[in-house]
Structure 1
């Protein structure tokens, strides 16, 4: 294959990875909106849309395999293909976690623990994904370090949110409630804790994307863990 076609394949791969990230981020926004608005129609749209994300992943996986097998890239090109393959894996998992938000929406009956701001946590994770993908697109290594630092803030906020939920549960006078009310409360608590955990995991995937970008650009594995 002519060299110019090979270079175009690399360009197309990067653009397709960025497109997948846009789809995944939109799914996450929709999942957060569904959860906030208790919009079951939107929740089902997020759940049903996971198939599109999975197909994008499979298509891009094949692109990476074809480049590796047919072109045998070396040095920076090899790192770019390898990093892109790892990044689409993180994006696919973020898509799965966005689907979880749709499923939590279907299970939610009423608001619990309003002092836990899920939307604020969601905004932080979205910003981290957006910035990590911008770093990938622009080969901005300084941005990679910033995302890793922001993950510490997200982790701390998620830990505080979980502590609020557990503390309030302990302080609740369960003996005055019916067995059905207690069961419902426990389900609500479990759902909220899972939501916080999933948002924290999305932040971890954003860091993974930044780490692979740093490796791609500078052959530096400092952020890979």
Structure 2
């Protein structure tokens, strides 16, 4: 009976982590939507999503602490709960950075062009990384978690491509400094989201194997 109750609580924890991950994906996707007219809907929507992410972090932290104190899990269960407790911090940071991106995009300085397309590409990549890292946690799949860690190189390459494009842009005529600076800032925030997603994947690997790579965590 006690074990059954504990397993139900673990299932509820997993569901909440999935929901928080979905909120992160939603925040990233919304943050890079470029509106054709001046409208505060975009940034307000992203901020509201971030507020839900913050609340999710608090709820999951409370849930994890109750499990640790009341159930006193050991071995694999302990790693699973501990990993979730650590993962939600990086998920909150993802939400915060998506909100920052939304603020920048809403200023309307970023213009159509190759840089814009690369930003959208980067955002799609990190959304995929978030999805895969959460799936790896749910299914306890070490292979999927390692895929996320490796895929971060692709996001870094995207960031390098944007920097090279901006160098070319600055060498041309009619340079819009606000456009270039905002593109670079958004790209950097997306790169950081990728880094936080790698941290999540590494905590997933820890929950499965007990081995922790602390280089970035």
TM-score w.r.t. the length of structure 2 is 0.90
| Structure 2 SS opposite 1:136 | helix
Please say if 1:63 is aligned against 2:54. no
Is the 8 Å Cα contact of residues 212 and 224 (structure 1) preserved in structure 2?
A: no
Query: Please, which runs of 5 or more residues in structure 1 have no aligned partner?
Result: 175-181
Is the 8 Å Cα contact of residues 142 and 204 (structure 2) preserved in structure 1?
A: yes
Within-5 A mapping of 1:101-116? 101-109=101-109, 111=111, 114-116=113-115
In structure 1, what is the equivalent of residue 158 of structure 2?
157
| Structure 2 SS opposite 1:221 | coil
Residues 192, 217 of structure 1: CA spacing in aligned structure 2 closer, same or farther, 3 A cutoff? same
Shift of 1:54: 0.7
In structure 2, what is the equivalent of residue 128 of structure 1?
129
Distance in 2 (alpha carbons) for counterparts of 1:127 and 1:223? 23
Query: Please, which runs of 5 or more residues in structure 2 have no aligned partner?
Result: none
Is the 8 Å Cα contact of residues 110 and 183 (structure 2) preserved in structure 1?
A: no
Distance in 2 (alpha carbons) for counterparts of 1:16 and 1:67? 14
Is the 8 Å Cα contact of residues 43 and 106 (structure 1) preserved in structure 2?
A: yes
- Aligned counterpart in structure 1 of residue 187 of structure 2, from 177, 196, 202: 196
Shift of 1:111: 0.4
TM-score w.r.t. the length of structure 1 is 0.87
| Structure 2 SS opposite 1:20 | helix
Within-5 A mapping of 1:171-190? 171-173=171-173, 185-190=176-181
| Structure 2 SS opposite 1:49 | helix
| Structure 2 SS opposite 1:119 | helix
Residues 110, 21 of structure 1: CA spacing in aligned structure 2 closer, same or farther, 3 A cutoff? closer
